[in-house]
Structures are given as structure tokens and as C-alpha cells.
């Protein structure tokens, strides 16, 4: 059974989501302000955090900024106002794995939860040989090292890098990456892949000046 934390000050919504998710073996604890979210993350480990951006005492973006000091390995899905692209981009830049707009469909939220948890947890090792690269990727442990240095990657960043490595030298479209990694079709104006790639590129740049090339109108190419 998954055990998640839902941070949202909408009591009716949290009750609805709690009831729905429990029928799919997802136990859901609730926190109603940002400070309570951080306190609960310090008391136990959760499989995932669903975090509303607009909360009292401390907003969701401020919570995200504090997570490296509390539960940096906890994957995060943001709840954002419909059409509020700036909050989504900032949240992704701060390390959130995905987002869903409010009011959200509980079934879609469940699908996002399962997708994020799946790419954040251990997987069965894939024995398919990877192309020669400075990257040393352990597909069982879902870890990555370069030149002997371990990279601190989110589950989403790891899957992006692995899929780019499997197609090293090829230009991979954002549409394909969205379906393969985020497990959803790329929507108009959705910059999730771009933001995740930007974070990944920054982590690789100490080892290569331009590790992931953006090919205008086509996608991304790993050259490391």
C-alpha cells in the first residue's frame, strides 16, 4: 500500500481525495498548511507528496525550497491553479516531479501518483546494453555516476537521462519523452520536459559544457 501526504487547505477536497484514493490502496495523510507539511515530513517517510501551491502560513513553493533540508528524496506532485504556468515552471525548477491543475479529477491524480512513484522507486534490472558513455547507470538501483561522481537525480531526471542515453546521438522528440517518462501525451504549452531537461543539464554541465543539445523544433540530443 502506498502512503502519501496531501498538503492542501481545502478540507472538502482532501476528504474527497482521501476517500477515493483509499479504495485503491493508497493511504493518505493530510496537512492543511505549509508548516504542517514540513512537520509531518520530518516525522515519517512518505512514498509521495501531493502539494497545493496556495496554502496558509507557508505556500507550496516555499515548502519545495525547504524539502532538501527535510525529505529531499520524496517525489512531489504539485496542485496548481488552472492555467497558472509560472507556478508550474517554478515548482518544476525547484524539483517537483509533476503537476496537475485544480480542480483535479481524482482518477487522473491517481494515475499521476502511480506514474511518479513507479519512476521514483527501484525497478527490475534491464540487461539491454547501453551505448558507450562517461555515464555509469545502474538500472536496478536507479543510480547514475559520471567519472566516479554520483549524481543526485530525481526519479524523473533519471528516467529522462536513461532514455536519452539509450538513444545517444539521436534527436529525441519532446512528445516521445513525455509519453515515455511522464506517461502522458504532451499538451500545448506544457514545458515540463523542458524544465526537467534544464535541471538535468545543470547537473551534467560540470562534466561537459553542452551535455544535452536542444535541436529547435525537433527535441533533445545527449552527446555526453
In the chain, CATH 1.10.10.10 sits at 135-222
- Give strand pairing partners of 222: 212
* CATH for the stretch 2-120: 3.40.50.2300
pLDDT at 74: 87
CA–CA gap between residue 143 and residue 152 (Å, rounded): 8
**pTM as predicted:** 0.78
Whether the bond into 93 is cis, omega within 30 of 0: no
The phi, psi pair for 130, rounded to 5°, reads -95, 150
In the chain, CATH 3.40.50.2300 sits at 2-120
The phi, psi pair for 160, rounded to 5°, reads -60, -50
- Under DSSP, the state recorded for 139 is T
CA–CA gap between residue 96 and residue 76 (Å, rounded): 5
Q: What is the pLDDT of residues 129-154, one digit of tens each?
A: 788 888 998 888 888 999 889 998 88
pLDDT at 77: 94
pLDDT < 70: residue spans in the chain? 69-72, 82-83, 121-128
What is the number of other CB atoms lying within 10 angstroms of the CB of residue 125?
A: 11
pLDDT at 82: 66
CATH architecture of 135-222: Orthogonal Bundle (1.10)
CA–CA gap between residue 88 and residue 84 (Å, rounded): 7
Q: What is the pLDDT of residues 30-66, one digit of tens each?
A: 999 999 999 999 998 899 999 999 999 999 999 999 8
* Selection from 56, 59, 67, 70 nearest residue 94 by Cα: 67
Amino acid at each position: 500500500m502506498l502512503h502519501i501526504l496531501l498538503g492542501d487547505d481545502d478540507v472538502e477536497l482532501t476528504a474527497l481525495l482521501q476517500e477515493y484514493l483509499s479504495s485503491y490502496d493508497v493511504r493518505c495523510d493530510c496537512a492543511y498548511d505549509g508548516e504542517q507539511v514540513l512537520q509531518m515530513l520530518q516525522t515519517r517517510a512518505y512514498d509521495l507528496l501531493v502539494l497545493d501551491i496556495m496554502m496558509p502560513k507557508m505556500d507550496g513553493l516555499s515548502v519545495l525550497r525547504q524539502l532538501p533540508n527535510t525529505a529531499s528524496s520524496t517525489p512531489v506532485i504539485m496542485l496548481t491553479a488552472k492555467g497558472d504556468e509560472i507556478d508550474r515552471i517554478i515548482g518544476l525548477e525547484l524539483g517537483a516531479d509533476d503537476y496537475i491543475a485544480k480542480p483535479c479529477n481524482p482518477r487522473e491524480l491517481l494515475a499521476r501518483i502511480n506514474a511518479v512513484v513507479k519512476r521514483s522507486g527501484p525497478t527490475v534490472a534491464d540487461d539491454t546494453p547501453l551505448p558507450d558513455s562517461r555515464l555509469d547507470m545502474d538500472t536496478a538501483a536507479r543510480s547514475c555516476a559520471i567519472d566516479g561522481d554520483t549524481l543526485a537525480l530525481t526519479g524523473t531526471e533519471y528516467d529522462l537521462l536513461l532514455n536519452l542515453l539509450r538513444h545517444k546521438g539521436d534527436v529525441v522528440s519532446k512528445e516521445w519523452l513525455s509519453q515515455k517518462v511522464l506517461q502522458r501525451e504532451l499538451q500545448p504549452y506544457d514545458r515540463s520536459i523542458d524544465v526537467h531537461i534544464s535541471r538535468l543539464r545543470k547537473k551534467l554541465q560540470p562534466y561537459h559544457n553542452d551535455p544535452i543539445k536542444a535541436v529547435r523544433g525537433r527535441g533533445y540530443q545527449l552527446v555526453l
